[in-house]
Amino acid sequence: GGGSSGGGSRLLLANELMYVFLRYHRHLYARLWQARKCADMQARAQAQQALRDAGAHVGTPLPDCDGGAPASEIDDGATAAAAAGLHATFMDMTLRMLSGDLEISLYEDQVRQLLGPNSYELFTLDKLVHKLINHMRLMVQDEHSHRLWELHRYEHARGVSPNALTYAINMHTILEDTVYRFQYNTSDASMSITMVEPRAEALTITEGFVNEYIRSYVSDVAQRIPKDAESPCPFMRRNLTVRSADPGEDDVAAALDQVSQGQVPM
């Protein structure tokens, strides 16, 4: 659209490299969120098992990483602290694995033991992180990605929401390929992604009298003067009254005088 993006939203026009990077980032975020979820569920499972061992009556089955209703006897504060400890241990193991201090096979066994069997999605974190790093290297070497990001910073540095049409026109001076439009809504923390094909006709600014005048001036067919209409004088007559001291120029002055009167000199 041609209007400004509404308040409480952020707009990014990106190329394919930036789109793939954000998709990788989304996958990494989902994996790390799964780790937090598994840590919370595992902490609750351990708390329920401790209550069972203590002889407390718990009417719900032992939950795993997929969830399960927590028992009313479980201390939520203690469970949250235990989940935070499990997650911190997982992050330490992951960093050691990425730095090469922990073998992949040993990492998988320790994660499964720490967070439960449903933590299998975390076993390939090393491959995802390496793909993300390699893709970031491609972006660093790509001039279009640099210029698009600088344009994004420029459009949002004005203190108001950027005009979507102006942003698109400025973007097409950098990139003429397919564009990916990212719209983030801060009110509900949602993001929409749209692939936009380049369309030159959508970039025409139609606002203001000056633009309309220029468009009509360069596109309309010039009006022709009818043959029987009185021809306008192409010269100012005051410029034709002066006679040169050189007798040879009198004929030229006379011819110009005839032209000014609409006559064709013979």
Q: How far apart are CA 139 and CA 131, in angstroms?
A: 12
pLDDT tops 80 at residue 46: yes
| pLDDT > 70 in the chain, percent | 64
| pLDDT > 90 in the chain, percent | 37
| Whole-number pLDDT of residue 64 | 47
119-137 confidence digits (pLDDT tens): 999 999 999 999 999 999 9
Per-residue pLDDT band for 235 (boundaries 50, 70, 90) equals low
89: enclosing H helix or E strand: helix 76-98
Token pair listed for 39? 């840590």
Phi, psi at residue 217, to the nearest 5°? Answer: -70, -40
Average pLDDT for 30-58: 83
| Whole-number pLDDT of residue 58 | 45
Average pLDDT for 167-174: 85
Per-residue pLDDT band for 191 (boundaries 50, 70, 90) equals confident
| Whole-number pLDDT of residue 4 | 41
Q: How far apart are CA 179 and CA 168, in angstroms?
A: 9
Per-residue pLDDT band for 86 (boundaries 50, 70, 90) equals very high
Per-residue pLDDT band for 226 (boundaries 50, 70, 90) equals low
**58 close to 48: Cβ distance less than 8 angstroms:** yes
Distances 214 to 2, 109, 166, 172, 173 between C-alpha atoms, Å: 21, 71, 19, 22, 21
Q: How far apart are CA 224 and CA 212, in angstroms?
A: 22
**What's the distance, Cα to Cα, between the start and end of the chain in Å?**
63
pLDDT tops 90 at residue 47: no
Quote the pTM value: 0.61
Q: Compute the radius of gyration of the chain from its Cα atoms.
A: 37
Number of H helices, E strands in the chain: 8, 3
Q: How far apart are CA 130 and CA 136, in angstroms?
A: 10
**79 close to 44: Cβ distance less than 8 angstroms:** yes
Tell me which DSSP letter residue 103 carries.
Answer: -
Average pLDDT for 53-77: 56
Mean pLDDT for all residues in the chain: 77
Phi, psi at residue 258, to the nearest 5°? Answer: -65, -40
Distances 29 to 59, 81, 94, 128, 139 between C-alpha atoms, Å: 35, 22, 14, 11, 20
pLDDT tops 60 at residue 169: yes
Q: Which residue has the higher pLDDT, 14 or 256?
A: 14
| Whole-number pLDDT of residue 104 | 92
